[in-house]
Structure 1
Amino acid sequence: MAYRIEPATSARFDDVVTLLNPRGRAEACWCLHWRQPPGLPVGGREQHLRELCAHEPPGLLAYLDEPDGGGARADGPGPVDTDRAVDGSTVVGWVGLAPRSAAVALQRSRVLPVGEPEEWPTTWVVRCFVVRVGHRGRGVARALLRGAVEHARSRGGRVVEGFPVEPEADRRVPVSAAFVGTVPLFESEGFETVGGTLATSGRLPRWHLRRDLSSS
């Protein structure tokens, strides 16, 4: 399927909510683990992300354009969504990303490589993926990663990095671990493995992958 990738701006904040906090949980992380200001209360996360969206988009959104309103729900026949936009599109995915210079927690991580400070402003890091139920396994994450590379390039990025998990042989990666992406996903978009890390997701080891934009 073809997906339209758009920056998470203030005008699209309702779609950000749909992906990051559809149940209205007070303790939602709002994809702020790496860039949450010290001392920010849990209840202030939504407003902080809203402010980020008003300046430099903290992520990208994937839309599926279905102007004919066709398709079937994951749980049975009928319309795919009841919250479809006027133009017929449905928001189906999110990817969080930022330059290292904005990822405060990553700069002092003890389990992930922190890189060289002088390279932080031009080294972009993909943090997490969210794909809506009913749209998983259809290439949404790949489209988002491809969009992340182009977004970083358009913002002067020289390198894009990720810390995905390596799937176990013949086993599906659980959603609780797959939000960081998988090694095969990143490799399919031209990323190369730098090495292992001390981090895990869902007890699976996370690897350091990198794509140099100057050579692509």
Structure 2
Amino acid sequence: MSIEIRPASVFADVRAVIGPKSPTATVCWCLSHRIPSKLNNSLRGPARGELVAELCKAEIAPGVLAYDGDTPVGWAGVAPRADTTYAHNRRIPHVDDLPVWSLWCIRVRPGHRGQGISHHLITGAVEFARAHKAPAIEAYPLDNGDAKVDLTMAYAGLRKNFEHAGFTKAADTTSTLAGHPRILMRLPLT
């Protein structure tokens, strides 16, 4: 298996990884931290996918995709923190005034998990942020130690995977997910 990371600019491929099985379903589409809460709560069914399709056309793609050959197998949501809800999140602190990027979601398709794809996604997101001149990248993973995490709630990533990629803990947060504390981890890029 040879995994390649590319900008998430092909909507059909993004839909294959994070879109719902039913076009009328109201699922995240990785918009929960991308857009203001009021807009996120107002979008229903196909409108969510339509917004993601527009994001895929933007100058800066809404994230990165992992491909096994031509098959999209994973997603990472990554963008300037200022363009996400983390810009005003009261539970996730700001370490300083640097215009950092946020990496807030990692998803690997069923049937492809347990093969190290999340590691490729983290590395690809870091390179994507670096290519766009980000001074640093942050993530807000679960600090779960050796405890198991429900895969549905593991989208934020796990501390050990970010440590493996060179991130270090920069701050505690008051955020929890699936009963586990989240921490702010950062990797300088310049």
> How does the TM-score come out when normalised to structure 1?
0.80
Cα RMSD for the two superposed structures:
1.6
Q: Which amino acid aligns with 2:43?
A: V
Aligned match of 1:146: 123
Write out the 4+ residue segments of structure 1 that deviate beyond 4 Å after TM superposition: none
Q: Which amino acid aligns with 1:184?
A: K
- CA distance in 2: counterparts of 1:141 and 1:39, whole angstroms: 30
> How does the TM-score come out when normalised to structure 2?
0.90
Over residues 55-78 of structure 1, what are the superposed CA-to-partner deviations in whole Å (9 max), with x where a residue is unaligned?
12001110112xxxxxxxxxxxxx
- CA distance in 1: counterparts of 2:21 and 2:114, whole angstroms: 23
Number of aligned positions between the proteins:
184
Aligned match of 2:94: 114
User: Equivalences for 1:191-206 in 2 at 5 Å?
Assistant: 191-206=167-182
* Cα drift, residue 49 of structure 1: 1.4
User: Equivalences for 1:51-70 in 2 at 5 Å?
Assistant: 51-55=54-58, 56-65=60-69
More relative contact order in 1 or in 2 (CA 8 Å, sep 6+)? 2
* Cα drift, residue 167 of structure 1: 2.2
User: Equivalences for 1:40-55 in 2 at 5 Å?
Assistant: 40=39, 41-43=42-44, 44-55=47-58
- CA distance in 1: counterparts of 2:179 and 2:149, whole angstroms: 11
CA contact (8 A) 1:19 1:92 kept: yes
Report the secondary structure of 2:171's partner residue: strand
- CA distance in 2: counterparts of 1:46 and 1:132, whole angstroms: 18
- CA distance in 1: counterparts of 2:35 and 2:189, whole angstroms: 27
Aligned match of 2:19: 21
Q: Does 1:91 align with 2:72?
A: yes
Kindly tell me: are residues 38 and 199 of structure 1, through their superposed partners in 2, closer, same or farther at Cα, counting changes over 3 Å? closer
- CA distance in 1: counterparts of 2:62 and 2:154, whole angstroms: 20
Q: Does 1:2 align with 2:2?
A: yes
Matched-pair identity in %: 36
Q: Structure 1: any 5+ residue segments left out of the alignment?
A: 66-88
CA contact (8 A) 2:101 2:136 kept: yes
* Cα drift, residue 37 of structure 1: 4.0
Report the secondary structure of 2:6's partner residue: strand
- CA distance in 1: counterparts of 2:2 and 2:166, whole angstroms: 20
Aligned match of 1:80: none
Q: Structure 2: any 5+ residue segments left out of the alignment?
A: none
